[in-house]
Copies of this chain bind each other. A is one copy, B any other.
Amino acid sequence: MKLSKTEEELMNHLWKLNKAFMKDLLEVYPEPKPATTTVATLLKRMTDKGFVGYNLFGNARQYYPLVKKKDYFSKHLNGLIKTFFNDSTSQFASFFAKETDLSKEELEELRNLIDTEIKNK
């Protein structure tokens, strides 16, 4: 199962907040904020899809993510890579290194990261 674009956005807020009531979620939306019921609908759908859980406080709910961002994103990225790069991560990697607009500093940082990864293998 997958989240839709708007659901993903909301999920992302939830990942940041970790735990949140409706109010908190509405707050992070920029103007013009969606209607409360809109967010409520989304949360309901996301709950049905198994991505969100909650604890009751009176009749209100404190929502929290049921999937880790990392996991969700990994799967996602793999889908992308599968679709666009014949399922080849390294093909994607080289695309990324070339086409992305990282600064020299960021690239150097990335290289260091990769070096560390290499040592751990």
Interface locus among A38-46, A58-66, A87-95? A87-95
Q: Per DSSP, are chain A's interface residues mostly helix, strand or loop, or mixed? A: helix
Task: Name the B residues within 8 Å of A103 (CB-CB).
Answer: 121
Known: A90-B110, A107-B117, A121-B107. A74 touches B99 (CB 8 A): yes
Q: When the two chains form their complex, are residues A100 and B95 in contact, meaning their CB atoms are under 8 A apart? A: no
Task: Name the B residues within 8 Å of A99 (CB-CB).
Answer: 70, 73-74
Number of A interface residues in the complex (CB < 8 A): 38
Q: When the two chains form their complex, are residues A118 and B104 in contact, meaning their CB atoms are under 8 A apart? A: yes
Task: Name the B residues within 8 Å of A114 (CB-CB).
Answer: 97, 107, 110-111, 114
Number of this chain's copies in the assembly equals 2
Q: When the two chains form their complex, are residues B107 and A8 in contact, meaning their CB atoms are under 8 A apart? A: no
Q: When the two chains form their complex, are residues A107 and B97 in contact, meaning their CB atoms are under 8 A apart? A: no
Known: A98-B117, A114-B114. A106 touches B80 (CB 8 A): no
Q: When the two chains form their complex, are residues A106 and B84 in contact, meaning their CB atoms are under 8 A apart? A: no
Measured CB to CB, the residues of A under 8 A from B are 8-9, 12, 69-70, 73-74, 76-77, 80, 83-84, 89-90, 93-104, 106-111, 113-115, 117-118, 121
